[in-house]
Amino acid sequence: MNGFAFFYILKSDVMKTISTGLIMLFILLLNSTRIVAQDRMVHSARIKLHYAINDSVVDSDILQNKEALQFVDSLFFQSDFVYNLDSVHILGTASPEGAVTFNKQLSERRAISLYNYLCNKYPMASQVSFNYQFLPATWQELATMMQADTLLSNRGDILNVLNSEYSHNYKQNYLRSIDNGNIYKYVAETYLPLLRHSTATLYYHVKEMPPFPMPSFALIKATPLSNKSLSSYSTPVAKSSKAYWAVKTNLLYDAALVPNVGLEVYLGKDWSLAGNWMYAWWKNDNRHYYWRTYGGDVELRKWFGQKAKQKPLQGHHIGIYAQMLTYDFELGNRGYLGDDWHYGGGISYGYSLPIARRLNIDFSIAMGYLYGTYREYLPEDNCYVWQSTNKLHWIGPTKAEVSLVWLLGRTNYNVKKGGAR
């Protein structure tokens, strides 16, 4: 065997060895990747801590905070080889009573308080990413908790108001006003403490399956402060209608002996749709008195201002409208007959003022354009003699209202400011 052949054989053996080594290394890397993938399986656990009213201090003596904190210990005090914390999400909240701005600030303080508690007691927590959310509880959340409470005799009305689009202040004043304040006292003792909390969701991965089961954690169901037993919250309750509507009459037209009626329906998000119809057919042939008109209008309104935020169909409003009418007016002399339809439209502004539990007064003025054809006539010898035919092109006020508004709908009524204390 010459030197070249020996070198060739040696080179072939070396290449086979290297190839085999590379294949084994690839298989090893593949298995390692799979192990790493399993190692990074993300889990989560959630804790909820409750707070005293207007407070953000972590207190183990409130409701079931002690059990929640013990669970956190069971998670953090395990070996780092078992649990690796990745990130934490904290939600701070507050019960809905009180000022909205203050509740937002209190929610933030509670979230930060829980963050500081975790970082001070568990140093590893300060090394991972945190994100926060500050969200005061809503009245709808309170309604969900109360929906199966058979101890509330007027539960249906209460749930309708809490689930409505009434303002924050209106709902609070409503609860204070009913049953001489006893309902609000019961709600404040039984439910509101359950909504004063912050929640931490901890995301972690398992590096190696432990020889014992992972501690499971269910959301803590706090016990109501009241000694009265409550039904389960899981029972669904049919949601009642949230319709807000009103029937009205324009007192200015009524004073002018033009009977009229209107209907307004709240569409949501501070919008409403109104329709009005008038009809007068008074006459005295002997005296040549004619007071006849009929027609109507439709109007789309946008509500705004502080009153409108408190409750639908009150406060300032602007709108666009379209109208149509006919008429025949004569008071013993020259008459004006517009027996073909006149058409108009324009913009309006008004203000609806609550005056009683189910009554508002709505002041409104409309400016726009009115078009039509009318005839002038004179009474002569028991006849009516045509004088001229004219075109009406009117730009200016086309409608004025001082309307008495009757609020309809189960929860559509006014509550006195402040309510019972």
Residue pLDDT tens, the chain, 421 long: 544 444 444 445 545 555 555 555 555 444 444 444 444 566 788 889 999 988 888 998 998 999 988 888 877 766 443 457 778 889 999 988 888 888 888 888 898 888 888 888 877 777 778 887 888 878 888 888 888 888 887 888 888 888 888 888 888 888 888 888 888 888 888 889 999 999 999 887 766 544 444 444 433 333 333 333 322 222 233 333 457 899 999 999 999 999 999 999 999 889 999 999 999 988 887 787 889 999 999 999 999 988 887 788 999 999 999 999 999 998 878 889 888 899 999 999 999 999 998 999 999 999 999 999 998 988 887 777 888 889 999 999 999 999 999 999 877 888 764 433 3
DSSP symbol at 179: G
Q: Which fold has domain 245-408?
A: Porin (2.40.160)
Residue 174's alpha-carbon distances to 33, 304, 365, 406, in angstroms, are 62, 21, 32, 20
What CA dihedral angle connects 397, 403, 409 and 410, to 10 degrees?
140
The Cβ-side half-sphere exposure at 348, using a 13 Å CA radius, reads: 28
Residue 96's alpha-carbon distances to 79, 106, 155, 309, 315, in angstroms, are 41, 11, 18, 17, 24
For position 361, what pLDDT does the model report?
96
d(CA 168, CA 259): 38
For position 82, what pLDDT does the model report?
44
CATH architecture of 41-141+196-206: 2-Layer Sandwich (3.30)
Pairing of strands 359-380, 197-206: unpaired
d(CA 391, CA 370): 10
Pairing of strands 129-134, 83-92: parallel
Among residues 404, 362, 411, 244, which one has the least CA distance to residue 312?
Answer: 244
For position 38, what pLDDT does the model report?
45
The beta strands (E) that lie in 161-196 are given as none
Q: pTM for this one? A: 0.51
162: Cβ contacts below 8 Å, ≥ 6 apart: 139, 140, 142, 143, 146, 171
For position 319, what pLDDT does the model report?
96
d(CA 149, CA 233): 8
Neighbours of 400 (CB within 10 A): 14
